[in-house]
Amino acid sequence: MTNDKKKVFKLYGAPWYITIIVCLIILTTMFLGGLGTDMPSTFALMLAIGIPLYEIGKRLPIWNKYIGGGILLAFLGSSVIGTYSLIPSEYVTSIDNFTSEINFLTFYITVLITGSVLSLERNILLKSFAGYFPAILGGFVGAILLAIVGGMFFGISPSELVTHYTLPIMGGGNGGGAIPLSEIYSDITGEGSDVYYSFAIIILTVGNIFAIFAAALLNKLGQAFPKLTGDGKTLIRGTEEADVTDEEYTPTLADVASGLMLGLGSYTVGLLFSTVLLPEIFGFPIHELAYMVIFVVLLCAFGIVPKNVRMGAKRLQTFFTKHLTLLIMVGVGVDLDLNELLAAITFSNIVVSLFIIIGAILGSGIVGYLVGFYPIDTAVTAGLCMANRGGSGDLAVLGAANRMDLIAYAQLSSRLGGAIILVLASVLFSILL
């Protein structure tokens, strides 16, 4: 075998020396103050931070097999960088702005929703969505029951465990959960919303971290017991091959472009409904991504989208999932304040939050199994994606569980599931407080 045919060790798809040189150039330029805060500079910096963390986490003994691998290390490593200002503050701000203000996070989710939904056979898709909401409610009930069990050790009343612990964790995140929950609490009790929110965000933060680590453990459980999980693309047992993949047809660049166009158009439909046509249902706001999921599901159900466009959307989603997820982990990691998390670490908060996460896993997994779903995949989406910090939490959970193809279900949990929790909260606050 000649030297040019020898296998070269690669990092992020390139020979290791190229990747290391590129990352060093970017980081050196940043520390010398030469790197900008515009989109290409920020994109480059996120790669230079994310690639080393990802590649180390992928190879770190014990961590790579039992804790979460490269994706989770990219998330936690970035949170350390952001919390303790290991890079100049203007670059932390630029990463946060790129992720949330420029909204690369939503763009990423839009691509994933389009590809994951359109890649499924429509009958399987409809059956899985029909059984999904019972699984969400199963996770919520399981979370309440185990919260009460956990709270018994600390003398916390069942009513407080439901209203102050379970609802914030299962409420669909911060902006769509903890904040409107605090407003509902204020309207019903007459107390300031900050009284409820200051505690709710603490509990939500602890629950979010547990949800991410639990997702990584569920992924390992699925590897140990394959019958409990599918291929990470659909929930219904025995439907792993029910997608549009055609090995005899490779999507062209035009197909990929048309898939992107369709995804952005579908997102715009979501915006139209959430801001103009039907912004609220029963008085509660519905997020544009929830409307987008519904619209793409309808496109798939009625067979409107040609197969080449569906395969193009799937090809684009695969690229984003395999190669750009670490960017998202850097973006959402930088936004996680570890000091806020450390302030929330009391023994009672840890135990009760852990019981809530376990309850969400068991409740959604059991109900999911009863309706014909794989319990692990259902627990990740209908359980843990209800128990995190919304859209960014969904991506962290799915990344840790290696199930990015289930993003549409995760968004239903965070968006529509979160809206259901707000409705239930109005009733529960009135009864229990």
pLDDT tens track for 136-170: 999 999 999 999 999 999 999 999 999 999 999 99
Distance from first CA to last CA of the chain, Å, rounded? 76
Torsion of Cα atoms, 196 then 199 then 205 then 207, to 10°: -90
Q: Across residues 54-73, what is the average pLDDT?
A: 83
User: What is the value of pTM for the model shown?
Assistant: 0.82
For 93-129, what is each residue's pLDDT tens digit?
A: 999 999 888 889 889 989 988 988 888 777 777 777 7
Could you give phi then psi for residue 272, rounded to 5 degrees? -60, -45
Amino acid identity for residue 419 in this structure: A
Element containing residue 324 per DSSP (H, E): none
249 versus 331: the higher-pLDDT residue is 331
Element containing residue 190 per DSSP (H, E): none
- pLDDT at 5 > cutoff 60: no
Q: Quote the pLDDT of residue 17.
A: 94
CB neighbours (10 Å) of residue 214?
Answer: 26
Could you give phi then psi for residue 120, rounded to 5 degrees? -90, 145
Distance CA 163, CA 188 (A): 12
Mean pLDDT for all residues in the chain: 87
Distance CA 353, CA 327 (A): 28
Res. 2 pLDDT band, cuts 50 70 90: very low
Would you state the structure tokens that stand for residue 286, as one six-digit string? 């519905």
Q: Quote the pLDDT of residue 1.
A: 43
The residue among 137, 46, 136, 135 whose CA lies nearest residue 87 is 46
Q: What letters, b where the CB count within 10 A reaches 16 and e where it falls short, cover 51-69?
A: bbbbbebeeeeebbeebbb
Residue with tokens 């850097």: 330
The residue among 370, 362, 406 whose CA lies nearest residue 125 is 406
| Polymer length in residues for the chain | 433
